[in-house]
């Protein structure tokens, strides 16, 4: 057995007015609880340090940049890194990254148990739009504030296993998991901020949206025989609801734990990485069964092109 005791640390809402220091205090409280439950790794959501700011339309770049981190760790997050090192617990969290040469990414990092950053991922599949959209019930301006990630879908050998990261909308795309699956991934960490309502389809029920969340995470896990840890930022942020439903999925695609609130909530589960072996060696033995001669369109065509009508 190769067990990683994973803590999925769902965060409740973060209001626009909340400081990073206040959020870090909440993250530390969850980390203390995770440590008391024997966790080796704690996983926080996408954009964990602030409210989900892409819902707000901004034209002033200085105002936009105020939501970004110029270095990691920084003054606000140093206490979190120190507590992680003290507890000897690895961590993963998302934040808005502004690089020294002026690039903006929706980023996630993975540390080892000493608090050293061992992996970085930048969100590839940015949802939403880049200009104010009068047709939407509310805005989702990720395409305005971020560039698509430039690092690809890597995996890292750490904590005795092979671990990868993705962020929110990435979880809906099978390519996300498969590229990591082809590197032998054994656990994928995915934070998210998903509105409880669909701004482009007002009749879509919350149940349907949560079904799609589970469907995507469970399919990704099963089809690549990997653990998947999905962690929400949930609850009502300045009048805008985000759903919860943080969960851990085993390599058979089954949910082993799931959050029941939209508040700060911790789920802890022992994840045996050896449980990935069976699927990887049988039905999803890629070397044995994949037929890459038929997959060319996946990497050569972006949009669907139906055949001409006859
Ligand atoms: N933060 C996100 O990427 N949210 C998207 C919403 C816009 C659908 C998601 O896939 O959950």
- Tell whether the model's pLDDT for residue 234 goes beyond 90: yes
Q: Is the Cβ–Cβ distance between 4 and 41 less than 8 Å?
A: yes
Nearest ligand 1 atom, CA 194: 11
Note if 208 is an active site residue: no
Give the model's pLDDT for residue 99: 98
Give the model's pLDDT for residue 177: 99
Give the model's pLDDT for residue 95: 99
- Tell whether the model's pLDDT for residue 241 goes beyond 90: yes
Nearest ligand 1 atom, CA 171: 10
Each residue of 247-263: pLDDT tens digit?
999 999 999 999 999 99
Angle between helices 174-181 and 206-224 (to 10 degrees): 20
Each residue of 260-301: pLDDT tens digit?
999 999 999 999 999 999 999 999 999 999 999 999 999 999
Q: Which CATH number fits domain 5-298: 3.40.50.800, 3.40.50.360, 3.60.110.10, 3.30.70.2190?
A: 3.60.110.10
Q: CA 237, CA 163: separation in Å to the nearest integer? A: 31
Mean pLDDT of the chain: 98
Give the model's pLDDT for residue 202: 85
Specify the pTM: 0.98
Nearest ligand 1 atom, CA 195: 6
Over range 166-191, report the average pLDDT.
98
Give the model's pLDDT for residue 122: 99
Over range 234-242, report the average pLDDT.
98
From the CA of 193, how far away is ligand 1's center (Å)? 6
Q: Does residue 233 have its Cβ closer than 6 Å to ligand 1?
A: no
Confidence of residue 23 (pLDDT cuts 50, 70, 90): very high
- Tell whether the model's pLDDT for residue 104 goes beyond 90: yes
Note if 46 is an active site residue: yes
């Amino acid at each position: 057995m190769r067990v990683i005791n994973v803590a999925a640390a769902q965060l409740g809402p973060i209001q626009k007015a909340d400081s990073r220091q206040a959020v870090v205090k909440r993250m530390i409280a969850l980390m203390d609880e995770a440590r008391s439950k024997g966790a080796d790794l704690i996983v926080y959501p996408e954009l964990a340090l602030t409210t989900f700011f892409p819902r707000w339309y901004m034209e002033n770049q200085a105002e936009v940049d105020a939501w970004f981190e110029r270095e990691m760790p920084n003054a606000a997050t140093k206490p979190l890194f120190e507590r992680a090192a003290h507890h000897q617990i690895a961590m993963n969290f998302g934040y808005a990254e502004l690089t020294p040469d002026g690039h903006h990414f929706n980023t996630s990092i993975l540390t080892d148990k000493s608090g050293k950053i061992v992996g970085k991922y930048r969100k590839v599949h940015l949802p939403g739009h880049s200009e104010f959209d009068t047709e939407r019930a509310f805005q989702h301006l990720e395409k305005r504030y971020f560039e698509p990630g430039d690092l690809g879908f890597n995996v890292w050998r750490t904590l005795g296993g092979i671990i990868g990261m993705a962020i929110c909308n990435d979880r809906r795309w099978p390519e996300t998991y498969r590229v990591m699956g082809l590197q032998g991934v054994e656990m994928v960490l995915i934070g998210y901020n998903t509105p409880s309502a669909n701004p482009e389809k007002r009749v879509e029920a919350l149940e349907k949206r949560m079904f799609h969340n589970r469907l995507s995470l469970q399919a990704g896990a099963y089809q690549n025989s990997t653990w998947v840890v999905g962690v929400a930022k949930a609850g009502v942020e300045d009048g805008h609801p985000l759903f919860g439903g943080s969960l851990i999925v085993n390599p058979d695609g089954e949910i082993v734990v799931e959050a029941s609130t939209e508040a700060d909530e911790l789920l802890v589960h022992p994840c045996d990485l050896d449980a990935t072996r069976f699927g990887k060696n049988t039905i999803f033995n890629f070397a044995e069964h994949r037929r890459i001669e038929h997959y060319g369109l996946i990497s050569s065509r972006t949009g669907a092109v139906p055949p001409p009508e006859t």
